[in-house]
Amino acid sequence: MNDRIEQDWTAVCELDDIVPDTGVCALVKGAQVAVFHLAGEDAAVYAIDNYDPHSQAAVLSRGIVGSLGERVVVASPIYKQHFDLRTGECLETPELSVSAYRVKVAGGKVWIAA
């Protein structure tokens, strides 16, 4: 990895620190990011803003992870809007979508690009 690419990625935690099928909150370059570890056949790690624009609270990392059709989502713990973990799109109110971040797992650590 060259220096430029390495500077864009931030290690946030060990993958094993995230209970499968849940999320945690990490601070990445001053922003709260909700990081989710999905287990099973389609195991993956996703990251979106932790801030829920509907409730105006930083709570998305505490939401319930699931799927709606082909979409992998988290339901906000307050008003239950669904956010697509791949894109950050709010399914019920697209104009209140959040940012999604690139994620990788390397050396057992979760890395977020911001």
Q: What is the CATH number of the domain that holds 14?
A: 2.102.10.10
Q: Say yes or no to pLDDT of 4 above 60.
A: no
**H or E segment at 102?**
strand 100-106
**Largest interatomic CA distance in the chain:** 43
SS3 94: helix
pLDDT-derived band at 114 (thresholds 50, 70, 90) equals confident
Cα gap 80→2, rounded to integer Å: 41
Q: Which amino acid is at 11?
A: A
pLDDT tens string 30-56: 999 999 999 988 799 999 999 999 999
Query: Any bridge partners for residue 101, and if so which?
Result: 47
Q: Count structural domains, the chain.
A: 1
Q: In which domain, by residue range, is 75 found?
A: 3-113
